[in-house]
A and B are shown apart, each in its own frame.
Chain A
Amino acid sequence: MKSSAASSRQTMTAWAFLAPTLIVMGLFQFLPILGAFGMSLLDYFPDSPNNRFVGLENFARVLRDPAFWEALKNSVLYLLVVPVVVGLALALALLVEPAIPFMNTFRACYYVPVVTMMVVVAYAWTLVFNTDNGLLNQLLVKWGAAERGIPWLTSEGLALWTVMTVTVWKGLGYYMVMFIVALKAVPKELTEASRIDGANPVQGFANVTIPMIWPTVTLVAIISSISALQVFEEIYMMTNGRVGTSTLVYEIYTTGFDMSRGAIDFGQACAMGVLLFVVILGFTVFAVKRMQGAYGTT
């Protein structure tokens, strides 16, 4: 049994170790988080500060704003990247699973986009998707697949999908590695047993492997959903929110910081932030519940 003096000294030490983190997090995370909820209830225009309490007026204004609904629609549409990411990343993981020479090099190549900054990824893909001189359109025309360049990034209805493919492309390697780890943990005996029982590889995969890696499928789906709902850089770089590609975060950014789009309105931007938080939280809880239910207790 420790003496009480020793244990109180240990308590002191513990708080001393935690102090730098608690100061940083308290000041630069918890305080601004509380501030955001508070500011969402204020009239807060930095150009004409009065900081009056207006209740839910900011939320009402956001909900009346067609630009917000457009952004919300796009953000929800953006969630379509999730099933694509899960499917392709899992397929890639299966593809690089066999231990053959140079396999690490292949894995590394697929992983390069993950370590590359999004700003550059977006720029490189802009060079590929440009209408007149982009690589893709040049190839399509050359091969006779298109008569003239397709406006990948400049036409309403198409641009958002183009940007979504870039998001998928950048994240694949990361989720692939998560699936590689999960697949490695599936006991060989189980897959072999199902083969001996006469199941073909597809059946074995669906009935043995998938349930075994379901926690990782869930995790990948949730992480990629959260980042899909927070997409910003690819939009900022590739379309600047034009041609129907504005998303929630892009809308928060322009409301809070882009003077070319009219007066900056911190109160309304914070209200949108609160709504973003609610959307992410709600969606995550919903997804976790649904996906855990699929295979009982995972």
Chain B
Amino acid sequence: MLLALVPLFVGPFLWMLSISVRESGNIYSLNLIPENATLQWYGEVWSQYNLDRAFLNSIIVAILQVGSNLLFCSLAAYPLARLHFPGRKIVFLLILSTMMVPFQLYMIPLFLLSLKLGLFDTLVGIVIPAASGAFGIYLIKQYYETIPSDLEEAARIDGAGEFRIWASVMMPLTKPAMAALAIFVFVQSWSNFLWPLIIINSESTWTLPIAIARLSGDFIDKTQYIAAGSVIAVAPVIVVFFLAQRWFIGGVTLGSVKG
């Protein structure tokens, strides 16, 4: 039973993978392992259809997105969890309230604002609206709250400023939560579609999902190109996933504390 279900989950990917290495001719034949396998389409989609550029853009966007979220969420979560100041509850509720609002409600004003700020068709424009977020802040805040206050008090008595306490004592203790957040944001950023679809225009700023969608819209008869491109687009995530499985699934665990 366990084994029987595996093809159901990986079968569509294997079929796509198989098609991506077939030579022209009957590319849809049921032989999963083609007689004449070729990597030709990979090379061509990579260089001729600018997938190399899209790949690089996706990496840049992912690095910026993960980096900004780790920094900003951790910074924001710290006072919400550990410091006493007027307005703490209200700020936290305000931040959480954004989780109730669907992105599609405000994507048009966001688009117009981004145009005004000169962010249209830029990679930074993709990253900035989600540079910090309620989910990440919540996740890290939960983790900060589990840390005993002795360490922090000791550092405070030693005369360390709050920023130093955060940077050298508290933040390093939240590594598991930070790792979970990093992976969560990475997967989201790598897959992000609707916002880039709106804010990105020229081929030189395409990210991978946009490139795949555009290719499949324009090159209906070039199935192998799109299949090869799709494999290139998902391979990094799947490889990282199998290497760091524990962390991926740990993220869901931490996240589901929500309930």
Residue in A112, A134, A178 whose CB lies within 8 Å of B13: A112
Given contacts A28-B128, A104-B245, A124-B12, contact A256 B28 (CB under 8 A): no
**Bound Cα distance from A79 to B74, whole angstroms:** 35
**Bound Cα distance from A32 to B101, whole angstroms:** 11
Please state if A13 and B104 are interface contacts (CB–CB under 8 Å).
Answer: no
Q: What size tier do the contact residues of chain A reach?
A: 35 or more
Please state if B213 and A14 are interface contacts (CB–CB under 8 Å).
Answer: no
| Residues of A contacting B157 in the complex (Cβ-Cβ under 8 angstroms) | none
Using a CB-CB cutoff of 8 Å, which residues 84-123 of chain B contact chain A?
84-86, 88, 91, 94-95, 98, 100-113
Using a CB-CB cutoff of 8 Å, which residues 234-265 of chain A contact chain B?
236-237, 248-249, 252-253, 256-257
**Bound Cα distance from A237 to B194, whole angstroms:** 12
Residue in A25, A173, A229 whose CB lies within 8 Å of B95: A25
Please state if A273 and B105 are interface contacts (CB–CB under 8 Å).
Answer: yes
Please state if A120 and B129 are interface contacts (CB–CB under 8 Å).
Answer: no
Using a CB-CB cutoff of 8 Å, which residues 51-106 of chain B contact chain A?
71-73, 75-76, 78-80, 83-86, 88, 91, 94-95, 98, 100-106
Please state if B233 and A120 are interface contacts (CB–CB under 8 Å).
Answer: yes
Given contacts A10-B85, A177-B252, contact A20 B10 (CB under 8 A): no
Instruction: State whether the Cβ of A208 lies closer than 8 Å to any Cβ in chain B.
Output: no
Identify which of A54-62, A65-73, A150-158, A276-284 touches chain B: A276-284
Instruction: State whether the Cβ of B178 lies closer than 8 Å to any Cβ in chain A.
Output: no
Please state if B75 and A116 are interface contacts (CB–CB under 8 Å).
Answer: no
Please state if B249 and A111 are interface contacts (CB–CB under 8 Å).
Answer: yes
Which residues of B pack against A, CB within 8 Å? 1-3, 5-6, 9-13, 15-16, 19, 28, 30, 71-73, 75-76, 78-80, 83-86, 88, 91, 94-95, 98, 100-113, 128-132, 137, 161-163, 166, 187, 190-191, 193-194, 197-198, 208-209, 212-213, 216, 223, 226-227, 230, 233-234, 237-238, 241-242, 245, 248-249, 252-253, 256, 258-259
Contacts A/B (CB < 8 Å), 16 sampled? A13-B163, A18-B79, A20-B71, A20-B131, A21-B137, A33-B109, A35-B113, A38-B109, A115-B248, A126-B216, A128-B12, A169-B9, A173-B9, A215-B259, A219-B256, A219-B259
